[in-house]
């Protein structure tokens, strides 16, 4: 039985994670965290998530609970995730990281912590999205340089980073399959007289509106035909279930950096 801690317990993903843990018989929630000083400190985490009382009270300091969980699931913000990862690495706790928007320097810091504990880090924990990564690699390898590639993503109005981490991961999968450097070929939006499209580029289009959970489409457009690989999320539970599955898988690892492709055996 894997003991799980959830940080950002009062957020949209935090509540979905608490519900997903409750639905999975091989794990149980032992710690729920919110930012220090939150008015929700002391509230029952189950009541907060709308699943009924589970006896786990929200706390504001991870250092109070390092011996009470095996794996921490974190979908918060880069700064908060780095602080939590440092605490987990120091104490040998493992960590599932769904936070996006890290700078290259922050990501390097996280990777270095994998020498001391096990981390599972992914831009998206949905099983469907990770299957799409595999399909994108196949499509890019087959279609090669004969297509124009565009990536469209849409999320709710509260998402703070753009393009989404999932869209960037999709771009990286495609670029790697084609032997391109995404940092050199990515085009983030177009405006004005841009001239004819360079086939080597990979375009990104971003939408932020309403309560869209997450839509992603990668278009491979050739003369006379096009192939589109699309994933649409209608509930955060798809991400939450995947993260909980990853937590159970990660418990068996001592150290190292993994992703959802490792969890699903797609590598």
User: Hey, what are 122's tokens?
Assistant: 């992914």
Whole-number CA gyration radius for the chain: 19
Average pLDDT over residues 59-86: 96
CA dist 249 and 2 (Å) reads 9
Mean pLDDT, the chain, whole residue set: 96
Tell me, what's the pLDDT at 266?
A: 87
Average pLDDT over residues 20-27: 96
The CATH classification number of 2-121+236-264 equals 3.40.50.720
Tell me, what's the pLDDT at 105?
A: 96
Return the DSSP state at 207.
Answer: E
Return the DSSP state at 142.
Answer: H
Average pLDDT over residues 10-17: 95
Residue 109, classed as helix, strand or coil, is helix
Tell me, what's the pLDDT at 91?
A: 95
Instruction: Count other C-beta atoms under 10 Å from residue 177's C-beta.
Output: 17
Is pLDDT of 109 > 90?
Answer: yes
pTM for the model: 0.83
pLDDT tens digits, 111-154: 999 999 999 999 899 999 999 999 999 999 999 999 999 999 99
Q: Does the 127-233 domain belong in CATH 3.30.360.10?
A: yes
Ranges of each domain in the chain: 2-121+236-264, 127-233
Is pLDDT of 172 > 90?
Answer: yes
Whether residue 40 contacts residue 10, with contact meaning beta carbons closer than 8 Å, is answered with yes
Q: Which of 52-56, 177-181, 233-237 has the lowest mean pLDDT?
A: 233-237
Tell me, what's the pLDDT at 101?
A: 87
Q: Which is catalytic among the residues 15, 94, 155, 231?
A: 155
pLDDT tens digits, 242-253: 999 999 999 999
Q: Which pLDDT band holds residue 26 (cuts at 50, 70, 90)?
A: very high
Q: Which is catalytic among the residues 159, 231, 252, 253?
A: 159
Q: Is 253 a known active-site residue?
A: no
Q: Is 156 a known active-site residue?
A: no
Number of H helices, E strands in the chain: 9, 12
């Amino acid at each position: 039985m894997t003991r799980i801690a959830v940080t950002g317990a009062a957020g949209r993903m935090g509540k979905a994670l608490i519900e997903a843990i409750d639905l999975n018989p091989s794990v149980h929630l032992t710690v729920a965290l919110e930012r220090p000083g939150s008015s929700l400190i002391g509230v029952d985490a189950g009541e907060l998530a709308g699943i009924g009382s589970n006896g786990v009270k929200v706390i504001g300091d991870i250092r109070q609970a390092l011996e009470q969980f095996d794996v921490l699931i974190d979908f918060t913000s880069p700064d908060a995730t780095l602080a939590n990862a440092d605490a987990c690495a120091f104490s040998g706790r493992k960590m599932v990281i769904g936070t996006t928007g890290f700078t290259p320097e922050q990501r390097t810091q996280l990777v270095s912590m994998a020498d001391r504990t096990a981390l599972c880090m992914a831009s998206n924990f949905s099983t469907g999205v990770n299957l799409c990564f595999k399909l994108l690699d196949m499509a890019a390898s087959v279609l090669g340089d004969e297509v124009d590639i565009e990536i469209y993503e849409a999320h709710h109005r509260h998402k703070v980073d753009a393009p989404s981490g999932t869209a960037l991961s999709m771009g990286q999968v495609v670029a790697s399959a084609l032997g391109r450097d995404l940092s050199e070929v990515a085009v983030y939006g177009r405006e004005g007289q841009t001239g004819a499209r360079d086939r080597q580029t990979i375009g990104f289009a971003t939408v932020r509106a309403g309560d869209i959970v997450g839509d992603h489409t990668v278009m491979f457009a050739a003369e006379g035909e096009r192939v589109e690989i699309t994933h649409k999320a209608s509930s955060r539970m798809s991400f939450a279930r995947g993260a909980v599955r990853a937590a159970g898988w990660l418990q068996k690892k001592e150290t190292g950096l993994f992703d959802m492709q490792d969890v699903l055996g797609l590598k």
